[in-house]
Structures are given as C-alpha cells and as structure tokens.
Amino acid sequence: MIVSPSPSRGVDFGDGCLRHPTQLYESAFHATALVSLLILERKDIFTGQRIKLYFIAYLTYRFVSEWLRPEPILGLGLTGYQWAALGMIGVFAMLWIRDARSVAAGIAEQ
C-alpha cells in the first residue's frame, strides 16, 4: 500500500512519478532525534538505554515511512524493510528489557 503524495508535495526524481520526499522526512526525524537525545542526556534520563531508544525510534519511523516508498511487497502487505524493522524492534526491545532487569538486580543487591 503506497500512499501517493498530493501534486503540491510530490517530487519527480526524473522518472515522471511523483513521490514523497522521504529524504527530507528522514532528515527531520534525525534532527528531532538528536535534539531529543541531547535533552535526555542533559537530564540523565534513560542512561545506558538511549542508543536502544534511538534504534527503536528509527526502526519505527522506517516501518511507517515505507508506506510512502515504492518498494516491493514481500508478504502480508509489508515490504522487506518493514519486516526487517519489525524484527529489529523486537531485538532492541528484548535488549532493553534485559538491561533494565540487570540494572534493577544490581540495585536490589546493594
């Protein structure tokens, strides 16, 4: 399911097809992520988890933005990138939980 842009938002990359300028959307995502991560660091929030938070956020962004890109569908209406993003979100979520439990166990032992 590709979401077509309106003529005012579409960009022709030389093949006559209007596409969403996903490069601009991704740049905006990364700029927002940078500011958010700097704020979290300054406030000492999610210490030891911020890189995982970034990856989960990026993979979620990428999963959603794939509906704006003309990529082949592999199965169940999802692209290869979407399937990979879902798998990696699961991996980073498990790492987050594992690390949070390790920290909690370390605090309980003290």
Q: What is the DSSP string of the chain?
A: -PPPPPTTT-EE-SSS-EE--HHHHHHHHHHHHHHHHHHHHHTT-STTTHHHHHHHHHHHHHHHHGGGS---EEETTEEHHHHHHHHHHHHHHHHHHHHHHHHHHHHHH-
pLDDT value at position 1? 59
pLDDT value at position 54? 98
* pLDDT band with cut points at 50, 70 and 90 for residue 24: very high
pTM of the model: 0.86
pLDDT value at position 42? 98
The domain segmentation of the chain, as residue ranges, is 11-109
pLDDT value at position 12? 85
* pLDDT band with cut points at 50, 70 and 90 for residue 60: very high
pLDDT value at position 2? 65
